[in-house]
Amino acid sequence: MDKILIIGAGGQIGVELTLALRQVYGRNNVIATDIREEHPLLKEDNGPFRHLDVMDFKEVAKMVAQENITQVYLLAAILSATGESKPVWAWDINMQSLLNVLEICRENKVKKFYWPSSIAAFGPNTPKQDTPQHTIIEPVTVYGISKYAGELWCRYYFQRYGLDIRSLRYPGLISWKSAPGGGTTDYAIDIYIEALKKKQFTCFLSEDTYLPMMYMNDAIRGTIELMEAPAEQIKNRMAYNLSAMSFSPKEIAAAIRKHIPDFTIDYAPDYRQQIAASWPQSIDDSEARADWGWQHEFDMDKITIDMLANLKKKLAL
């Protein structure tokens, strides 16, 4: 049986991925770790949790060796909007953590390693519509720069050492279970919360800013499907484009009004507008669909119904 280590399990992706992997591999075979306190949803699940600083090479190596870890998921990262406020710190965290874990996986002959990339790896010179898998990549944020550099390091460790590395370029992710972590697409979570609480939302992006988005349920399922696919089907050892839909703040507001007719939205674009403008508006993920059978399930209307229903319960409204 595989033994899985998740680093950064308290983040937006980490919480739900941990819970999903425990359903597949068994609760005690998936160790959640984070530098922060254990997330309430992980506490409720009552699976193994350890405090771990990914920048502490010796402690990470010790845990991988002592627990006989066969798969590692490295999710710890400083995201786009937060990273721009402290770029050198963000680069250090994002890159050194990856290099630490790559080396530890190599030394311990870990079977599989997962590291997420992002559409932030693209840049303003990348084709905006149906951005292809292989294209111009010139990121302009420290988060995007670190993601593209990380993709190259992942491919290097696969080619040089045979480490089975798999990665996805996530679009913006929408979830009701865990809070967003400082990303430019976070508005697409906050808008639902504010619609329920105040029936009004001020968006930090302009109304017609289109970005690739995905419901967390699809992202988690896609991640696990990628990791469980036979190695011969994984033809891309940098990161696969992954997509579900693209929409603007104006369109998501219209979807919410179908359920909350008096919801209103206004717009006050800030520094995140420039970040969003450097990213694609839609993504071509045909290689993921061809190589390992990726397909999304949630469209915007299904997301809106599920988000509002679950947030209403969570916020006790």
- What is the DSSP code (8-state) at residue 141? S
Q: Where in the chain is the domain with CATH 3.40.50.720?
A: 4-171+215-241
Distance, in Å, from the CA atom of 18 to the CA atom of 31, rounded to the nearest integer, reads 8
Angle between helices 187-197 and 300-314 (to 10 degrees): 50
Q: In what order do the strands lie in the sheet with 117-118?
A: 117-118, 168-170, 240-241
Look at the domain 172-213+244-282+298-314 and name its fold.
Answer: UDP-galactose 4-epimerase; domain 1 (3.90.25)
Distance, in Å, from the CA atom of 286 to the CA atom of 241, rounded to the nearest integer, reads 8
Is residue 143 annotated as a catalytic residue, yes or no? Answer: yes
**Tens of pLDDT, residues 171-230:** 999 999 977 777 888 999 999 999 999 999 999 999 999 999 999 999 999 999 999 999
**Nearest CA-CA partner of 224 in 12, 10, 13:** 13
Residues 6+ apart with CB under 8 A from 234: 164, 166, 226, 291, 292
Q: Where in the chain is the domain with CATH 3.90.25?
A: 172-213+244-282+298-314
Residues 6+ apart with CB under 8 A from 315: 193, 196, 197
Instruction: Please say whether the structural domain 4-171+215-241 has been given the CATH code 3.30.590.10.
Output: no
Within 28-107, residue ranges assigned H as helices are 40-45, 57-66, 80-85, 87-107
Annotated active-site residue in 25, 73, 114, 143? 143
- Written as tens digits, the pLDDT of the chain (317 aa) is 899 999 999 999 999 999 999 999 999 999 999 999 999 999 999 999 999 999 999 999 999 999 999 999 999 999 888 899 999 999 999 999 999 999 999 999 999 999 999 999 999 999 999 999 999 999 999 999 999 999 999 999 999 999 999 999 999 999 999 777 778 889 999 999 999 999 999 999 999 999 999 999 999 999 999 999 999 999 999 999 999 999 999 999 999 999 999 999 999 999 999 999 999 999 999 999 999 999 999 999 999 999 999 999 999 88
Q: Do the strands 200-203 and 117-118 form a parallel or antiparallel pair, or are they unpaired?
A: unpaired
